[in-house]
Structure 1
Amino acid sequence: MTGELFPRPRTVVTPGAVHVPAWLSEERQRELVEACRGWARGPVPIRHTVLPGGGVMSVQTVCVGWHWQPYRYTRTAGDVNGAPVAAFPDWLVRLGRAAVTEAYGDAAAGAAYTPDTALINFYDSGARMGMHQDKDEKSSAPVVSLSIGDDCVFRFGNTEHRGRPYTDVALFSGDLFVFGGPARLAYHGVPRIRPGTADPATGLSGGRLNITLRETGLG
């Protein structure tokens, strides 16, 4: 969120998990929104992922670099249209490295970070994300999470189970959240978003985009 009356501080939520408010400029947010719109059109279009038990996720997802389907990564989208997933661009690698450097204050850690996939989730006013772990990757490198659009409540928990203890963090448009190290396998989710809080200047007049960068470790 830009132009805040009371700027929010950078926060270490738990060791390895860092919240950096207002990290993305308004211009960079607009650029990311346009990129996401392009990826949403294909070659593998944005969709509601169908879970193995038949449930359908309320968020809409599109992937870059590798295609995620529960609970594995593939190069082609066999559960959608069979097309190869969009390539992961170099500029997104650079953004991920800058994010890790910013969150951890460690240029070497940032330089070593080489994300090769992005999962992009779009939340409309009724979408939610249950508590889960990001554990389909073979790499233990951090997850970089970027928020654009409507504010949300981001619930960041422990590594053992979905219940307490957890911390609810308010994520606004432009915020960065990185979790790695001892927090890499923490359960996390989004119990709700706050409709109507998006700034149209970012290019997204409603809903929330969440872009997560990851290293799959798949080579």
Structure 2
Amino acid sequence: MTADLFETVGDAPPTRETIAEGAVLLRGFAWPFEAELISALRAIVKQAPFRHLITPGGHRMSVAMTNSGSLGWVSDPSGYRYDPIDPDSGNPWPPLPDVLCKLAASAAEQGGFNGFAPEACLINRYVPGAKLSLHQDKDELDYAAPIVSVSLGLPAIFLFGGLKRSDTPRRYRLEHGDVAVWGGPSRLFYHGIAPLADGEHGVLGRQRINLTFRKVR
């Protein structure tokens, strides 16, 4: 990540867009947090670098990822799970910085979920062509808490479906600074990211960074 990862995007106030019961898009919500986010993310990635996980089926994920928090999401041939230890280093995952907790809690509150205290932040890095297939976030024990997802860098097409994999997903363009929050009736909706289109973002270059906050237990 470069020193100019973030810059002021604009002064327009965030807007709130309801996409399903319990699910909202908060356009530009992360902008006020940019200055602190860059410092926090650089420190996290230095301690726990991005890596490409292997699915239980033996496939290498196109999205590179790392984690921050008391628990991190990992995948290997034995399955998907949360673990307090980074398997690459043997050390605990970097703790969640205050700015990330504040951003996640504030976004969750705007989505109608008060008191959100994430235990894990999954940090995904997409390059052109990378994608995330439709899936449910169901490795957590606490479905009462929402999912908070922050988009940075290149725009992406967010696919948001329903409770069945066969439900046709709606498509939403996510820009730098947008935050998606979903919980309640939408908590287990299938979702994903379409293959990332090539481009050059003025701040992040040819990549997209996504922060996904979750309460696990």
Q: TM-score, normalised by structure 1?
A: 0.85
Q: Which runs of 5+ in 1 are unaligned?
A: none
Identity across matched positions, percent? 35
1:153 positional shift:
0.3
Tell whether 2:141 aligns with 1:138: yes
The separation in 2 between residues aligned to 1:84 and 1:8, in whole angstroms, is: 35
1:34-93 residue CA offsets vs partner (Å, 9 max, x unmatched):
422321222x32100111121011111010111211311111123x23222111233322
Which structure shows the higher helix fraction? 1
Q: Name the structure 2 match of 1:176.
A: 179
* Mapped contact 2:151–2:210 kept (Cα < 8 A): yes
Change (3 A) 1:64 1:3: closer
1:165-210 residue CA offsets vs partner (Å, 9 max, x unmatched):
211000000001001001111111001223325232xxx2231000
Q: Name the structure 2 match of 1:159.
A: 163
- SS of residue in 2 equivalent to 1:49: strand
Q: Name the structure 2 match of 1:117.
A: 120
Tell whether 2:101 aligns with 1:97: no
Aligned partner of 1:95: which letter? L
The separation in 1 between residues aligned to 2:210 and 2:23, in whole angstroms, is: 17
1:20 positional shift:
1.1
The separation in 2 between residues aligned to 1:91 and 1:34, in whole angstroms, is: 10
Change (3 A) 1:137 1:51: same
The separation in 2 between residues aligned to 1:167 and 1:22, in whole angstroms, is: 20
The separation in 1 between residues aligned to 2:175 and 2:157, in whole angstroms, is: 9
Change (3 A) 1:30 1:147: farther
Q: Which runs of 5+ in 2 are unaligned?
A: 1-7
Tell whether 2:42 aligns with 1:37: yes
Aligned partner of 2:163: which letter? T
State which of 193, 197, 216 in structure 2 corresponds to 1:194.
197
Aligned partner of 1:156: which letter? F
Change (3 A) 1:29 1:38: same
1:144-168 residue CA offsets vs partner (Å, 9 max, x unmatched):
000110000000011122x332110
1:213 positional shift:
0.8
- SS of residue in 2 equivalent to 1:118: strand
Aligned partner of 1:159: which letter? L
The separation in 2 between residues aligned to 1:216 and 1:8, in whole angstroms, is: 28
Which residues of 2 match residues 2-41 of structure 1 at below 5 A?
Answer: 2-3=9-10, 10-25=16-31, 28-41=33-46
1:114-137 residue CA offsets vs partner (Å, 9 max, x unmatched):
111100000011211111111111
- SS of residue in 1 equivalent to 2:37: helix
1:22 positional shift:
1.1
The separation in 1 between residues aligned to 2:89 and 2:109, in whole angstroms, is: 37
Q: Over the residues paired in the alignment, what is the CA RMSD in angstroms? A: 2.2
> Which runs of 4 or more aligned residues in structure 1 lie more than 3 Å from their structure 2 counterparts after TM superposition?
1-5
Q: TM-score, normalised by structure 2?
A: 0.86
* Mapped contact 2:23–2:186 kept (Cα < 8 A): yes
The separation in 2 between residues aligned to 1:84 and 1:21, in whole angstroms, is: 33
1:96 positional shift:
1.4
- SS of residue in 1 equivalent to 2:128: coil
